Structure 1
Amino acid sequence: MESLSNEERLKLQTLSGVERMRLYYAMAAARDSSIDTPLFELKEVYIPALASFVVSGSILGTIRAKQAGDGFIRRAEQEAYAHKVQAVRDWHSAQFRSFFKYGYRFGWRVSFLVTSIFATQSLFWIYTDHYTISHYSIGGTLAGAVYRMNMGLRGMFVGSILGAVMGTLSGSLQYLNHMHINKGREIKSAENRRHLFYLKHLDILK
């Protein structure tokens, strides 16, 4: 990890948030073909998004599948099946339908909230060049308000409160992981990579 001189640090401090966003976009575009080494700020968004979709969808899908299976058994007791194999097939079909139907519905909702929280955090991190828990809280507040927008102002207010709590909790866990368990190595590495790119490509802003 290269250390920066005082002059270089001063140049970075004079950059506005919009200028940092422009430089970061240029850096992301320049690394389009580097699939093996994706930018850390982007990994911070899509990995939690995918993980939340799979985990939450699997949990609720499994619960719903079991409920559908139990319901099918109760109904089957009142129906006459000519073949036991057909009954088993219908039982499995009922479970699979419920698993994918409700798993997908719940998964994308949780994934939307998580994606919004972590995407907002990454944007604010790039914009301000500071990594803090408050960015997760802001992301959760916005995500909760948007998610409950169809319920009017009262729904948006309640959604924003719940979103802020969810964002703060997830942000605290992520902050604990990055800054204490990993000693901030990944955060410092990502910031150092951005800073070096910014300094080498300041001409983009002209």
Structure 2
Amino acid sequence: MNPIMIKRFLNKSYLCGILPFATNDLDKVSKDSKTAKSLIANHNETGWDRLYMMFSLDEFGVSSPELHSVFQSGFLGTTLGVIMGGIYRTRHTYLNFIERNQATVFRDHLEAKKKLQDQVTINFGKGAFYWGWRLGLFTSTYVLITTSISVYRGKSSILEYLAAGCITGSCFKMNMGVKGMVVGGLLGSALGGLAGGLSLTIINITGTSMEDVRYWQYKWKQERVKQEQKTFKTYEERKDFPLLKHHNEKIGPAGETLTALDSEPAVNTSH
């Protein structure tokens, strides 16, 4: 059979979808295409360019996915610090209150319960404040350093977790002097490396990357905001919307648009 006829047969046949060779250039991407240009532009980006984009806002004033993950970690750390610190500070409040007030004479049991509740509330607030901002600052700083190093290098590895743990641990023990900073840095590196190794292992098993995780966290937030806006808009367009109903009762349907104000006759206020 003529080779030209074989080539035409393969081009027009379904066999070209299962055979291990092809006779066309459909899979070749032109260098002038939009996809190729975007890949070349991303390849030519430097680490400082990526860091600048990370700390920049888009045209809608929204932060980057990387910076959004830092905010989320800081909020989560603060919340956990408030809960754990409050519980830790109030766990012995009941026994201490009984020991310190054995000789105290209260008017009735309600006064004693009120004093105990006040003491529990005060201790919970102290513990929540003491640990809340510390754990929030610790987690946000740790995630900020790991994310910044990862963005600058353009990839994720155990290196940024070790560096972030060392820096954050040293800063956390700064009030204890040089020895405390060294111990805090070593302990932070160990814990950071453990957390980083566990995170990277899970990511590799699932076949994703940290960039994908941050991206989808950002997309989920956008979808949630869109759904909230859509729900509020649907509720606002209802006839029984309280704000619109009150407006129509006070002004009337004619005042729903500005053009209705021009069509109304002027009121003579002169006497």
Q: CA deviation at 1:20?
A: 2.0
Out of 66, 72, 80, the residue aligned to residue 55 of structure 1 is 80
Correspondence for 1:68: 93
Supply the AA of the counterpart residue of 1:159: G
Question: Which has the larger share of helix?
Answer: 1
Is contact 1:53–1:108 with CA below 8 Å preserved after alignment?
A: yes
Relative to the length of structure 1, the TM-score reads 0.75
Is contact 1:146–1:156 with CA below 8 Å preserved after alignment?
A: yes
* Cα distance in 1 for residues equivalent to 2:73 and 2:136: 8
Percent pairwise identity: 19
Supply the AA of the counterpart residue of 2:52: R
* Cα distance in 2 for residues equivalent to 1:52 and 1:100: 17
The unaligned stretches of length 5 or more in structure 1 are 192-206
> CA offsets, 1:115-151, max 9 Å, x none?
1110011111221111223212211111111222232
RMSD across aligned C-alpha pairs, in angstroms?
Answer: 2.7
Higher alpha-carbon Rg: 2
> CA offsets, 1:40-78, max 9 Å, x none?
212321222222222233123113212112211222222
Correspondence for 2:176: 151
Relative to the length of structure 2, the TM-score reads 0.59
Query: Number of residues paired by the alignment?
Result: 183
Cα distance 1:189–1:4, how it changes in 2: closer, same or farther (>3 A)? farther
Correspondence for 1:161: 186
Out of 157, 167, 176, the residue aligned to residue 132 of structure 1 is 157
User: Are 2:147 and 1:117 aligned?
Assistant: no
- Secondary structure of the residue that 1:30 maps to in structure 2? coil
Cα distance 1:186–1:172, how it changes in 2: closer, same or farther (>3 A)? closer
The unaligned stretches of length 5 or more in structure 2 are 1-33, 216-271
Is contact 1:53–1:107 with CA below 8 Å preserved after alignment?
A: yes
Correspondence for 1:100: 125
* Cα distance in 1 for residues equivalent to 2:201 and 2:78: 23
Out of 165, 171, 174, the residue aligned to residue 199 of structure 2 is 174
Cα distance 1:31–1:154, how it changes in 2: closer, same or farther (>3 A)? farther
Correspondence for 1:19: 49
Out of 46, 52, 59, the residue aligned to residue 30 of structure 1 is 59
Q: CA deviation at 1:8?
A: 4.2
Cα distance 1:50–1:101, how it changes in 2: closer, same or farther (>3 A)? same
Correspondence for 1:196: none
Q: How does 1:2-13 map to 2 (within 5 A)?
A: 4-5=35-36, 8-13=38-43
- Secondary structure of the residue that 2:143 maps to in structure 1? helix
* Cα distance in 2 for residues equivalent to 1:15 and 1:139: 24
Is contact 1:136–1:171 with CA below 8 Å preserved after alignment?
A: yes
Q: CA deviation at 1:186?
A: 6.4
Q: CA deviation at 1:23?
A: 3.4
* Cα distance in 2 for residues equivalent to 1:142 and 1:62: 29
Supply the AA of the counterpart residue of 1:138: A
Correspondence for 1:44: 69
Cα distance 1:23–1:110, how it changes in 2: closer, same or farther (>3 A)? closer
* Cα distance in 2 for residues equivalent to 1:178 and 1:40: 18
Greater displacement, 158-167 / 50-59: 50-59
* Cα distance in 1 for residues equivalent to 2:213 and 2:60: 16
Greater displacement, 142-151 / 154-163: 142-151
Is contact 1:178–1:187 with CA below 8 Å preserved after alignment?
A: no
Is contact 1:117–1:137 with CA below 8 Å preserved after alignment?
A: no
